[in-house]
Amino acid sequence: MIRESGSFRDPDGYVFWHGERLFRALYQSGAEAYRTFRRSQVAKWAEDHHLLTRSWELLPDEWKGFDFLPPDIAGVVEQERVPFISYPYEWTFDMLKDAAVVQLELGCAMARDRLTVKDATAYNLQFLHGKPIFIDVLSFQPYREGTPWVGYAQFCRNFYYPLLLQAHCGIDFQPLLRSYLDGIPVMTVRRMFGVRAWKRWATLKHVVGQAWLQQSFESKMPTLKDDFPTAQFSLDHNIRLMQGLMKDLGKLSLRRTSSHWSSYGEKNSYSVQVRRLKRAFVSEQLKKISPSCVWDIGCNTGEYSLLAAEYAPRVVALDSDAASVNALYLHCQSQNITRVLPLVADLIDPSPALGWGLEERKSILERGRIDCVMALALVHHLCLMRNIPLGHLFAFFGRLGMRHLLIEFVPKTDPMAKRLLNNRDDVYPWYTQPNFEREAARHFVIEERLELEKGGRVMYELVHRLTSPSHVAISMSTDEGQSPSA
Amino acid sequence: MNRTVLSMLLVSLIIASHPSDAFAYIDGTSGGLLIQLLLGGLAGVGVIVKLYWRKFIGVFKKEKE
């Protein structure tokens, strides 16, 4: 049994893994709340409409053997697992917006069944089969008459403010959400907005109003619980607030939908012939490898992520340019492509472990096994722009633990590489194909090599030395020691 | 409630309030609860007015002490 390191705040229960299966241990309060929720009509409706992951309570006999559970556990729920856990600071604008809509839709649906969602953290949502889905089945509890929506401020911090900042101020929310794990505080948002917050009714209410009321009473906050009956709160009031927010969200859109990188695919130096050769090489290798999970690092707008999705059930498409990743997400939504998970991530500064004890949010490298990594048209950016030596580059790829690496070498003579060095001294004498192959060979075996053009770009299929046939024994012992993915 | 009336009320409350810079134990949800009172209708607005009135009276009480 492995207890999920990020699951400790909820007084109603916690998440644990048993083998490859995902469970929630419920204390008495949690068991009662879960059973009430399970009996409601909304439970099945939400599962059928892909708003909530499927879950089911085990019979006492079924978890009798779980002798690692403490005696105060009153029930165990098993739930559908999400193969790759992602965090809001890795989502794009439209991903966060869609997740916010799911949170609100679920909140409204629960309210109609006299239930309430007790919190509104964006970490309760994940992307499964290309769509956002709520995963915390212990978040639902019966509505207490006369109470307001307690998750409202958290909803603003986690969803609404980041989207407002991006839509109205053009500020990327990802670095902010990475710093503020419980969402961006209202006072910070208020300061960032400045006078612009007065321009719209929505920001006047949710930012200016909330910030001022918060500030007015921060030195001596009144106990509001006694005033709830006077204020005549009701479920209708909560539903109206959620519907109002949903309407406001509908009006938010990205100011800047393109970037230098989002049109990079059209600007690159490939001829039709080279592009065809490259696609054929990638297709052929993926067909041969038949991976279950591919990472496409530096995916741009996802041309090769989409190609990989034809051969792999799961593709994690990573790029540091949020506009490109958002374009890929919208493309997947419009074409109903469910195998690709686009995420904003920079290989130079990948998401670290964060939160309580540095265990609450896992680093991006700790969230599941990878079979194949694609690093296409990436190496020259890392080496020539970001000064990553080739030795460090392959040592990093070696640490990722995947068996296959599809990588493209872009020589300094390539027009795109030349452009990177246009106004800079070439201090990279080591950036050559022989050095590339020598450093690669420290960690990988070169299985395939294809020169796309004479003296031009070269495609490689590399196999990790630890998993190549001569190292099977080492590989097996490594696999056995690996903990299940999140 | 009429949007203009609410806006005016919000503005007057903001002008009337004297935010303190004192460091305090800040409950991040307080502003969220208070704005829900304000947006919830007349009854909620009444509660907010009452809270500001208490705050206002509190200033004089402190001075007396």
Average pLDDT over residues A15-42: 96
DSSP-derived letter for residue A475 is H
Summarised one tens digit per residue, pLDDT across range A319-350 is: 999 999 999 999 999 999 999 999 999 999 99
**What is the band of A438 on the pLDDT scale with cuts at 50, 70, 90?**
very high
Distance of residue A140 Cα from the nearest chain B Cα, in angstroms: 19
Nearest partner of A398 among A441, A341, A458, judged by Cα = A441
Average pLDDT over residues A66-78: 95
Summarised one tens digit per residue, pLDDT across range A392-433 is: 999 999 999 899 999 999 999 999 999 999 888 899 999 999
Q: Do B47 and A218 touch (CB under 8 A)?
A: no
State both tokens at A234: 């009701």
Mutate: best of B29, B48, B59, partner A, most A CBs <10 A:
B29
**Residues in Cβ contact with A471 at an 8 Å cutoff, skipping those fewer than 6 apart:** A465
For residues A331 and B54, the model is more confident at A331
Q: Do A214 and B39 touch (CB under 8 A)?
A: no
Distance of residue A152 Cα from the nearest chain B Cα, in angstroms: 6
**Integer Cα distance of A460 and A437 in angstroms:** 10
Nearest partner of B40 among A276, A236, A144, judged by Cα = A236
Distance of residue A220 Cα from the nearest chain B Cα, in angstroms: 8
Nearest residue of chain B to residue A219 (CA atoms): B24
Task: Find chain A residues with C-beta within 8 A of B29's C-beta.
Answer: 150, 152-154
CB atoms inside a 10 Å sphere around CB A154: 21
Q: What is the pTM of this model?
A: 0.89
Distance of residue B64 Cα from the nearest chain A Cα, in angstroms: 19
Portion of chain B with pLDDT greater than 90, in percent = 0
**What is the band of A122 on the pLDDT scale with cuts at 50, 70, 90?**
very high
DSSP-derived letter for residue A346 is B
Q: Do B22 and A219 touch (CB under 8 A)?
A: yes
**What is the band of B6 on the pLDDT scale with cuts at 50, 70, 90?**
low
Nearest residue of chain B to residue A206 (CA atoms): B35
**What is the band of B27 on the pLDDT scale with cuts at 50, 70, 90?**
low
DSSP-derived letter for residue A361 is B
The partner residue sitting opposite A153, judged by closest CB among B31, B47, B54, is B31
**Residues in Cβ contact with A303 at an 8 Å cutoff, skipping those fewer than 6 apart:** A265
At residue A468, φ and ψ (nearest 5 deg) are -70, 155
Task: Find chain A residues with C-beta within 8 A of B62's C-beta.
Answer: none
B29 touches chain A (CB under 8 A): yes
Query: What value of ipTM does the predicted structure carry?
Result: 0.72
Distance of residue A377 Cα from the nearest chain B Cα, in angstroms: 45
**Integer Cα distance of B54 and B26 in angstroms:** 19
Q: Do A153 and B39 touch (CB under 8 A)?
A: no
What's the confidence (pLDDT) of residue A481? 34
Q: Do A232 and B14 touch (CB under 8 A)?
A: no
